[in-house]
């Protein structure tokens, strides 16, 4: 039986940028903060990490840096997806060579494909490496869903270990089809609790960038049997989560981190600064959560 790569909260960590490139000193600070605050895994170069704006040389250097700085303390999962199968294979092979514990591979976007094409795409990626693959199903960004029946076929491939799932309505069917050793991670911060109730093992989280311990505790308490405490944490995050997604992510979370004095820099174009109106909403949510005085 396959074990989960991690249980708990995996932070989809932001990439701090300067005008000249990645701020590696700041990235190291963020990694240490996450480990200190009980985050269970680092997901580097994901959507929140703005990997889509990184040339390959930069993307690879950030993966390598994260692996070296984490140094085996918690799993590092490298975003290595692409809508070009050959490119995804290359990034995945690099992530493995750099020492990543797993890769996160997003559903192909723009050119998209069929369900058969999805199977062949992910089969090719998994067959090119020995480390586990976590699929990333986010139709709101890719306009392409991995159907539960396709997930069942993919789950039979030994190193396809699970899915970061953003479609709550198909989680129960996926678990019924794929079995207990195919790990589900919530891809939506507002749906952690219901996904855990279905049998998910954790979350790959945006809000963990600013509330890592609470996000860890939300999962740990549920899995430890304290459903009431887990529910209390999930309900307490409703306003904050709404604010963190008031504009395209990671615009709001980076703005929040800057308001909190974490100085992670701006998003890269085409993402722009949060609007003044929404900044006020975000500021109020941070204050209400006691993240700002």
3-state secondary structure 88-106: HHHHHHHHHHHCCCEEEEE
Is the model's pLDDT at 149 over the cut of 80?
A: yes
Rounded distance, CA 51 to CA 228, Å? 37
pLDDT at 33: 98
* Cβ burial 7-45 (10 Å sphere, 16+ → b, else e): bbbbbbbbbbbeeeebbbebbbbbbeebbebbbbbbbbb
Phi first, then psi, for residue 28 (nearest 5°) are -60, -40
pLDDT for the residue numbered 55: 97
201 is annotated as an active-site residue: no
H-helix or E-strand spanning residue 76: strand 76-79
| Count of C-beta atoms within a 10 Å radius of residue 130 | 9
**Residue 293 pLDDT level (bands cut at 50, 70, 90):** confident
C-alpha–C-alpha distance, residues 151 and 155, integer Å: 6
Average pLDDT, the chain: 97
Residue ranges of E strands in the chain: 8-12, 17-18, 21-22, 41-44, 76-79, 102-106, 133-137, 160-165, 183-186, 202-205
**3/258: higher pLDDT:** 258
Residues 6+ apart with CB under 8 A from 254: 14, 264, 265, 266, 267
Q: How confident is the model at residue 180 (pLDDT cuts 50, 70, 90)?
A: confident
Q: Which DSSP symbol is given to 108? A: P
CB atoms within 10 A of CB 127: 13
| 8-226 has CATH 3.20.20.70 classification | yes
d(CA 28, CA 24): 6
pTM over 0.85: yes
Angle, alpha carbons 122-125-131 (nearest 5°) = 115
pLDDT-derived band of residue 64, with 50, 70 and 90 as boundaries?
very high
Average pLDDT over residues 145-164: 98
pLDDT digits (tens, 9 = 90+) for 222-237: 999 999 999 999 999 9
Catalytic residue among 26, 164, 221, 254: 164
Annotation marks residue 110 as catalytic: no
Would you say residue 1 has pLDDT above 90?
no
Q: Can you give the length of the chain in residues? A: 293
Question: What are the tens digits of pLDDT across the range 72-121?
Answer: 999 999 999 999 999 999 999 999 999 999 999 999 999 999 999 999 99
Provide the β-strand partners of residue 134: 104, 162
Catalytic residue among 26, 60, 64, 136, which? 136
- pLDDT (mean) for 238-262: 98
Q: How confident is the model at residue 2 (pLDDT cuts 50, 70, 90)?
A: confident
245 has pLDDT over 90: yes
Q: Catalogue the E-assigned strands of 187-245.
A: 202-205
């Amino acid at each position: 039986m396959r074990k989960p790569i991690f249980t708990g909260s995996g932070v989809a960590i932001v990439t701090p940028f300067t005008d000249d490139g990645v701020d590696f000193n700041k990235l190291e600070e963020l990694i240490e903060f996450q480990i200190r605050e009980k985050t269970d895994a680092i997901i580097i170069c994901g959507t929140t990490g703005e990997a889509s704006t990184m040339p390959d040389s930069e993307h690879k250097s950030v993966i390598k840096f994260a692996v070296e700085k984490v140094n085996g303390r918690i799993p590092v999962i490298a975003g290595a997806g692409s809508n070009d199968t050959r490119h995804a294979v290359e990034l995945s092979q690099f992530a493995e060579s750099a020492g990543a514990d797993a890769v996160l591979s997003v559903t192909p976007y723009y050119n998209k494909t069929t369900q058969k094409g999805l199977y062949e795409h992910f089969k090719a990626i998994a067959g090119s490496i020995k480390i586990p693959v976590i699929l990333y199903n986010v139709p709101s960004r890719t306009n392409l869903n991995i159907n539960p029946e396709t997930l069942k076929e993919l789950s039979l491939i030994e190193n396809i270990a699970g899915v970061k799932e953003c479609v709550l309505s198909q989680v129960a069917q996926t678990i019924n089809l794929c079995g207990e050793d195919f790990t589900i991670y919530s891809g939506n911060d507002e749906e952690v609790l219901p996904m855990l109730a279905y049998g998910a093992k954790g979350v790959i989280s945006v809000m963990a960038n600013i509330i890592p311990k609470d996000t860890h505790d939300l999962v740990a308490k549920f899995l430890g049997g304290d459903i009431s405490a887990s529910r209390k944490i999930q309900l307490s995050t409703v306003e904050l989560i709404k604010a963190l997604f008031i504009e395209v992510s990671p615009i709001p979370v980076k703005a929040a981190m800057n308001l909190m004095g974490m100085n992670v820099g701006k998003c890269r174009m085409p993402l722009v600064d949060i609007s003044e109106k929404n900044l006020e909403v975000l500021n109020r949510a941070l204050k209400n959560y006691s993240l700002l005085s």
